[in-house]
Amino acid sequence: MKRTWTIIGVSDVPSSFKWYQSLFGQPERRPGHADFGQILDSDGTVLLCLHQWGAHEHPSLMSRDEAAPGNGLLLLFRVDDFDMSLKRARTLVARLEEEPHANPNTRTKEFSLRDPDGYYVTISDLSSLELRGHAPA
């Protein structure tokens, strides 16, 4: 099995860490470092890494001022608790970017919102695709 570790630049790792934990309904815990944290699934799978802008001199994470956060990036998470994720999302933002709807391409329910750093985040219902027997291989 191969997995990716998506890393995004953020202004405040602890604050973003708490935001994503709230969105995913995870117990609150602190990130491993003030400038880097990993959002983990219950089985230890890395869902998302949060990296402080300018820390560690990574060329693409030096400054949020050199490119708009999220330009060319869509964070899409497939969840097994879609309705609860939607309720949690509504407590985190004033408005959703896209209200819940059926994506005609994937035939899944989804909605979208912006995180505190402006990244576009889409939440997709894991079960709606799998229940129809169209689970990805």
Q: What is the pLDDT of residues 53-70, one digit of tens each?
A: 888 776 667 777 777 666
Are 113 and 24 spatial neighbours (Cβ–Cβ below 8 Å)?
A: no
Q: How does pLDDT run across 91-114, given as a tens digit for each residue?
A: 999 999 999 999 888 889 999 999
Predicted TM-score (pTM) above 0.85 = no
**Rounded CA gap, 88 and 56, in Å?**
33
Cα within 13 Å of Cα(29), Cβ side: 12
- What's the DSSP call for residue 57? G
Residues 6+ apart with CB under 8 A from 26: 39
% of the chain exceeding 90 in pLDDT: 64
Longest dimension (CA), the chain: 46
Q: Residue 70's pLDDT is what?
A: 67
Averaged confidence pLDDT in the chain: 86
Could you please state the CATH topology (level 3) that the domain comprising 7-130 is classified under.
Answer: 2,3-Dihydroxybiphenyl 1,2-Dioxygenase; domain 1 (3.10.180)
- CA 108, 109, 113, 117 torsion-angle sign: negative
CA dist 133 and 116 (Å) reads 36
